[in-house]
Every structure is written in structure tokens, then in C-alpha cells.
Amino acid sequence: MANGSLAKFLYDQEKPTLDWATRFRIIKGVASGLLYLHEDWEQVVIHRDIKASNVLLDHELNGRLGDFGLARLYDHGTDPHTTHIVGTMGYLAPELVRTGKATTITDVFAFGIFLLEVACGRRPVDSIASGEELILLD
């Protein structure tokens, strides 16, 4: 994609700050894509790694969900049989950590964290100089 990942625009000081209308348009694009993957495609696609670095921006800064390396497919109306916990720390739903089972609901949880990330311009978990972690939700 022409403008690379959203993370570059959120965290690279050399990139211009995104205005609210652009951030909202990016969020709507990702939400639309996620709805399509969960409800409208011939199979259910669980992405399992929704975050700013996996959102790609075209030449007009429209957001598209990318990096399907961890994604899983299953038929509508069936139970997803995922058993491995994969994804990125800070975006994992508590029930995913407890059960090891990824679902569309765990994707929606990650999308909510992504919303906070875009709105605040901060990573959900960020290491600070002392070796401690700063957690966005705290």
C-alpha cells in the first residue's frame, strides 16, 4: 500500500499528525473489513492480530486490514477449533488468554484496543526506560 502501515503515522515523528476525520475514516475502513470477514464472506475469518501496524494505508489514507498470517478460517455456524494463543500482547482478550480459543469476539476486543490506540496515539503496552511497562488501560 502506498503509505505503509498506520503505526508509522501514529509513532514516527517525521510523519504528519493525522487529523480526527482521517483517523475516523481509517477506523471505519478497518471496522467494515472486519465485519466482512466475520459475517459476509463465505467462511468466517478470525484475524487474531488486529493492531495499527497491521493496518495499511492507501494513497488517500484509507485503512485496510492486512497481515493475515495468523488468521484462521471456519464455516459459519461451526465452532472455531483454535487452541494456540497467538497475537500481540496488549491486544489479547482476557478470555483468549484463559481458554486459548480465538473467536470473532476476541477479534472485536482487539479492535477496541486498536480504537484506543488510534484515538490516543499510544501503544497499548509500551516499554519505558526503567524496563517497566506502561499500560494504556491503567
Give me the percent of the chain exceeding a pLDDT of 70: 89
Q: With bands split at pLDDT 50, 70 and 90, how would you rate the model's confidence at 1?
A: confident
Copy the grid coordinates of residue 17. Answer: 499528525
How many angstroms separate the CA atoms of 125 and 42, rounded? 35
- Please identify which of the residues 49, 58, 67, 75 carries the catalytic annotation: 49
Nearest C-alpha neighbor of 70 from the set 62, 58, 82: 82
How many angstroms separate the CA atoms of 102 and 46, rounded? 7
Copy the grid coordinates of residue 98. Answer: 484463559
Instruction: Examine the residue annotation and report whether 40 is marked as an active-site residue of this protein.
Output: no
Give the predicted TM-score (pTM) of the model.
Answer: 0.86
**β-strand partners of 126:** 134
The amino acid that residue 121 corresponds to is G
How many angstroms separate the CA atoms of 61 and 57, rounded? 5
Query: Which DSSP helix (H) or strand (E) runs through 106?
Result: helix 104-120
Mean of pLDDT values over 85-95: 89
Summarised one tens digit per residue, pLDDT across range 38-48 is 999 999 999 99
User: Cell 465485519, residue?
Assistant: 35
